[in-house]
Structure 1
């Protein structure tokens, strides 16, 4: 009994620092945000309890509805494409050659750039005045395309920028997963004269199931919180056509100074991220159990 109690206390002592930081950094701000969302509050500390009025306002706020739609559209455009591209790159670069190692470093290099540098690069590429794409189109006798000012093109422009920026980590996760697959399975499949597509469908993809789930979950949570690209590349315009939820929250809190209203929107975003994560987890759990 004494040994078991000592081991239990030792375990508590080991996890206590992490749990303390977790509560201070994550749980307490979450609870404080819920409390602020029930008030009419500003950045100067003035608060008036209004209950669920902020949430009721959000339900009928067309600007917030547009921000939700933009966020979901960006997520749907980015996550599947990014997953497919990075999986393809991992399959192509899963080799021990010098060229493959150099290309892995090249593709990963974009991930270490800050969002400011990324948006500057893509502004030079996409701007219709003197951007790279505009120069190419003008050289071929075509009119420049206003990627950053056309309401129908701003979301695709943000999606392309984000995919280019985010390639590195998912590619490395898939590479790590590929290197964990025993090579004797492929050798046995080769003896059975299985083709490349059969090997991918029957061996590679099932073996990467956990990695695939991890990549999709991480990227879904990340893209639902997309902010910097939209703020710096398009400023949410034109007319809110590229304003995601986090940019809406930022503008409400720090431009309009409606802290309670912004906190209510943040709580809805938190619930959206949580619901998306749990939905993906539950969708794959029965297969994992089997």
Structure 2
């Protein structure tokens, strides 16, 4: 009987002893099966971004049209590109549009977030109202603002008519056409910066504001010393996102002004569209695309570095 008990105890404890004797698994060892989790992302990243970028660079050094890729021409496409006055004008138009929209979107979005960062029904309704425009398509947005800016019969013309003065011809004026597109774009895109700022503001602990109130800090001191440093990274993110997005202006200019009058509202993307898909000069269109890519990269990196240095100072 005693032997049976002893043997049963040994049998029960043998798996534990075997487990103790087994060498421990190396948790730092590379396991290639973990790559399966990121394989779908890497596949689409390579096929949708990396390969088109490399193909576009290769195409920009060749003479290409709808019949196929021709001979290697080196930098001839770039030479023709920078010799085209319309392309240089489109570059200037794009930079002008970015300067019109990005500062307004960054600052106006911050102002709206500060004003609507309240737990009230009216604030919730206004947040929904301002964000609702962001879900509209570019076609609907341009249709709405064409109704506003259309001469003689538009909403703006009606308002000016109440005061007995003619409305400015926004869509047909060389000086005002890009401003009209910028106004429509700001109305369309203001929801995203506002929501990003709201998310950052709601992460700030309320105890910090209570301590500032006990120290008799006014609103400006609280904003400058607490709120602004706390949302600095979000501000940089908003600016970078808007720079990248607004450099890719196309739909608003295409549907509101057709790039006119006299190409004064034609952006780079619209120039690429005309060259590649109307004149079927794919090599020159690819060269213009690479120039746009470099401009976006330089602008975004410069903005990031300048903003980071100011924040550190």
CA-based RMSD:
1.6
The answer to whether 1:88 aligns with 2:127 is no
- Map of 2:16 onto structure 1: none
Shift of 1:6: 5.1
Quick one: distance in 1 between partners of 2:26 and 2:310? 40
- Map of 1:144 onto structure 2: 167
- Map of 1:14 onto structure 2: 37
Could you say which structure has the larger radius of gyration?
2
Matches for 1:248-263 after TM superposition, within 5 Å = 248-263=271-286
Aligned length: 290
Matches for 1:155-174 after TM superposition, within 5 Å = 155-174=178-197
Shift of 1:61: 1.4
Shift of 1:218: 0.1
Residue of 67, 76, 87 corresponding to 2:99: 76
Quick one: distance in 1 between partners of 2:29 and 2:260? 60
Quick one: distance in 2 between partners of 1:289 and 1:113? 38
- Map of 1:188 onto structure 2: 211
Quick one: distance in 2 between partners of 1:280 and 1:84? 15
Quick one: distance in 2 between partners of 1:174 and 1:261? 40
Quick one: distance in 2 between partners of 1:193 and 1:226? 47
Residues 211/265 of structure 1: CA separation in 2 closer, same or farther (3 Å cut): same
- Map of 1:227 onto structure 2: 250
Displaced runs of 4+ in structure 1, greater than 6 A? 287-290
The answer to whether 1:177 aligns with 2:200 is yes
The answer to whether 1:32 aligns with 2:55 is yes
Residue of 66, 72, 78 corresponding to 1:43: 66
TM-score scaled by structure 1? Answer: 0.96
SS of the residue 1:40 aligns to? strand
Quick one: distance in 2 between partners of 1:142 and 1:216? 38
Residue of 63, 69, 79 corresponding to 1:56: 79
Residues 287/80 of structure 1: CA separation in 2 closer, same or farther (3 Å cut): closer
Quick one: distance in 1 between partners of 2:27 and 2:54? 35
Residue of 132, 152, 160 corresponding to 1:109: 132
The answer to whether 1:121 aligns with 2:158 is no
- Map of 2:13 onto structure 1: none
- Map of 1:213 onto structure 2: 236
Superimposed CA distance per residue, residues 3-40 of structure 1 (whole angstroms, 9 cap, x where no aligned partner): 35654424323222211211111000001111111112
Q: Is the 8 A contact 2:232 2:311 kept in 1?
A: no
TM-score scaled by structure 2? Answer: 0.89
Q: Is the 8 A contact 2:177 2:265 kept in 1?
A: yes
The answer to whether 1:276 aligns with 2:299 is yes
Shift of 1:70: 0.4
Residues 125/44 of structure 1: CA separation in 2 closer, same or farther (3 Å cut): same
